[in-house]
Amino acid sequence: MDTKTYAFVSKIPGWLTKHEGQFLEKAARSVKHIDGEIVEIGSYCGKSTIWLARESSAVYAVDPHKGEVSGGKTAPTLPAFLRNLEIAGVRDKVIPIVKTSKTAVREWHKPIALLFIDGLHDYEHALEDMSFWSRFVVSGGIVAMHDAFCGWIGAGDIAMRHIVRSPDYSEIGVVGSIIYGKKGKQTLFTRICNFHSQFVIQVSQNLYRSRFVPKFVAFFLAHRLLRILLINRYTSLP
């Protein structure tokens, strides 16, 4: 992303870091050869949507835009969302689906190459988003969940169960607070790599949630030390 566009995107309300945005951009680029769509669950004001759209021909952005966010409520976000896409120069690449995830999936039938889940992060909604949409992700495609690594308990638990511990992914990893998996058949080598990642991610999650470790200590250990063990092709340490 060029400097001018990033200066604008960085001011858009939202909780996506530059590091995570770069992951989305790289992930979108990496699935260009796959016959499938890019789908985002939870767009808010468009920060992550813009990162995804920079390296894709189309992004389906699912969000009712009622202003419901994890931990609170804001004004309806559709006007700001569309305006931000226009200013960033990606409006023609984004297909807004102004519905809840649960409603939108009833009419969905296309294969998915990249699924980014960033809806409500409680257990129930995170489970719905993962269960409803991940079944459309094709082999070689990527499923990623935001605020799952040392973040919201609901999103974290779903990512652990349906990505990190799942045998359906040939590669798993962490970038910022995003836990992701690449769908595919596991080999002996990828099983060994995944076992290593599973162990480090689980230790980090347990540490972050511990009542006996101060939050700032847990954050430092998980995000500054243990995460070094999770460096992958999408990672550049911030």
Residues forming a β-bridge with 65: none
Report whether 230 contacts 201 (CB < 8 A): yes
CA distance 169 to 177: 19
The answer to whether residue 235 is domain-embedded is: no
**Residue 17 above 90 pLDDT?**
yes
For residue 109, which of 143, 137, 136 has the smallest C-alpha distance? Answer: 136
Span 224-238, pLDDT tens digits: 778 788 877 777 544
CA distance 21 to 175: 10
* Boundaries of domain holding 222: 3-230
Report whether 182 contacts 171 (CB < 8 A): yes
The answer to whether residue 237 is domain-embedded is: no
The answer to whether residue 82 is domain-embedded is: yes
Report H helices in 105-228.
123-133, 153-159, 188-209, 215-220
pTM for the full model? Answer: 0.92
What is the number of structural domains in the chain? 1
Span 103-156, pLDDT tens digits: 999 999 999 999 999 999 999 999 999 999 999 999 999 999 999 998 889 999
Q: CATH number of the domain that 183 lies in?
A: 3.40.50.150
The answer to whether residue 238 is domain-embedded is: no
